[in-house]
Amino acid sequence: MVLKLAELHDNLTESLLFINENLGFTMLNITAFTVSGSIFSIFSLYRMIVRNELQYFNLALMNNLCCGYFFIFLVVMIACCSLLTKTGKYAAILVHNVIAYIDDYDDPIIDYFQKELILKLAELHDNLTESLLFINEKLGSTMFIITAFTVSGSIFSIFSLYRVIVRNELQYFNLALMNNLCCGYFFLLLVVTIALCSLLTKTGKYAAILVHNAIAYIDDYDDPIIDYLKMFSQQLQHRSPTVHCGFFAFDFTLLFMIVGTSTTYVVILIQFDSNGRAAHTDLMGNGNSTIF
Q: What is the pLDDT of residues 33-89, one digit of tens each?
A: 788 888 888 887 777 777 777 777 777 777 778 777 778 877 877 877 777 777 766
Same domain for 119 and 85: no
Cα(270)–Cα(236) distance, integer angstroms? 48
User: Which has more confidence, 112 or 246?
Assistant: 246
What is the pTM assigned to this prediction? Answer: 0.54
At 220-279, the pLDDT tens digits run 667 777 777 777 777 777 777 788 887 888 888 888 898 898 999 999 988 888 876 666
88 lies in the same domain as 198: no
Q: Distance between the two ends of the chain, CA-based, in angstroms?
A: 102
Q: Are residues 120 and 1 in the same domain?
A: no
Number of compact structural domains in the chain: 2
Contacts by 12-21, CB closer than 8 A, 24 or more apart: 16/84, 17/127
Whether residue 213 sits in one domain with residue 69? no
95 and 119 in a single domain? The answer is no
At which of 101, 129, 161 does a domain end?
101
Residue positions counted in the chain: 292
94, 172: one domain: no
Residues 15 and 146 grouped into a single domain:
no
Task: Give the domain extent around 284.
Answer: 107-292
Angle at 247 between CA 242 and CA 253, to 5 degrees: 60
Q: Among 105, 122, 137, which residue's Cα sits nearest to residue 223?
A: 105
**Domain termination site, one of 101, 129, 158:** 101
Let me know: does 180 contact 153? Beta carbons within 8 Å: no
Domain boundary, last residue among 78, 101, 124: 101
91 in the same domain as 150: no
Asked if 275 and 141 sit in the same domain, the reply is yes
